[in-house]
Structure 1
Amino acid sequence: MAFQVLLNVFIAVIWMFLQNNYTALSFFIGYVVGIFVLFVIRRFLLFDFYFIRVWAVMKLILLFFKELIKANIDVVRIVLSPNLNNKPAIVAVTTELDTDLEVSILAALISLTPGTVSMDFSDDSRTIYVHSIDVPNKDEMVDQIHNTFERAIMEVTK
């Protein structure tokens, strides 16, 4: 991946020299041209096209912001309601992520979302114990974590 990024930057610099225009816009256009060139020759490369992983990282960031906004609205709803009808719970989330880094990223994303805190890991580091301020259905919460954050992390790291 690092080789492809350097190659893309090299193509952008060559583009700037060929255009005889040394501005950020010319570099950006060259970088986009480099992405296109690398996409066209991707079948001759020994590794995957790097921009797929960059796109997956951008999707993970957007997913986190979407979940952050939804969680903030839920917390505001709970705080401003006249009577407390929330059901706090501790939920064990078993993950299919392989490495400790992936599990740590999942725990961090869960903890950064308002209303939830990653409390502890199991001994094999494959189960995260999550405390949530409102859990109407534990299975739905686990499925939501699996279908959002865990799947996005797998796209980035695989």
Structure 2
Amino acid sequence: MAFQIILNFVLAFVWMFLSSNYTVAGFIVGFLLGILLLIMMRRFFATRLYVYRIWAIIKLTLLFLKELVLANIQVLQVVLKPKLDMQPAFFAYPTVLKQEWEITLLSSLITLTPGTVVVHVSDDAKTLYVHAIDISDVDEAIAAIRDSFEKAILEVSKS
């Protein structure tokens, strides 16, 4: 991935020098043309193009922001109810993530979402223990995390 980014910058600078356009606009045009050349040469790279990973990171960020807003609304509804009928619970979340940074990112995303906190990661890093402030169905919560955050992290880490 780093090689592709460097190659794209080199192509952008070569375009700037060949077109004698030493402006930011000239660099951006060269950068976009470099991306097109990388797409055309993608079969020569062992890994997928870095553009796809950047797009996956953007989607993960937008997903987190959406989940953050929805979780804040849910916590606000719980707090503003006249009668507190919360159902707090601890549950074990089995993860398929392998790398440490993936597990750390998943733990951070879960913890940063209001109403949930990762309290422990198992020694083999296969299970996250999560506390939720108000949860009615544990299986639904596990499926929601798996289908949102974990799926997006797997897309980012896919090579």
TM-score interval, normalised by the smaller of the two chains: over 0.9
Q: Deviations over 1:91-120 (max 9, x none)?
A: 110101112221111101101111111100
Q: Report matched runs for 1:80-99 at 5 Å.
A: 80-99=80-99
When the two structures are aligned, how many residues end up with a matched partner? 158
Q: Report matched runs for 1:39-118 at 5 Å.
A: 39-118=39-118
Name the SS of the counterpart of 2:82 in structure 1.
coil
1:148 corresponds to? 148
Q: Deviations over 1:11-47 (max 9, x none)?
A: 1112222332222222222211111110011112333
| Partners of 1:23 and 1:134 in 2: CA distance | 55
Name the SS of the counterpart of 1:131 in structure 2.
strand
State, as a whole percentage, how many aligned pairs show the same letter: 48
Q: CA RMSD in A?
A: 1.2
CA distance 1:145–1:33, shift in 2 (3 Å): same
| Partners of 1:23 and 1:87 in 2: CA distance | 59
Q: Mind listing any 5+ residue stretches in structure 2 that lack a counterpart?
A: none
1:137 corresponds to? 137
| Partners of 1:82 and 1:28 in 2: CA distance | 56
Q: So what's the TM-score if we normalise by structure 2?
A: 0.93
Name the SS of the counterpart of 1:125 in structure 2.
coil
Q: So what's the TM-score if we normalise by structure 1?
A: 0.94
User: Could you tell me which amino acid in structure 2 is paired with residue 65 of structure 1?
Assistant: L
Q: Mind listing any 5+ residue stretches in structure 1 that lack a counterpart?
A: none
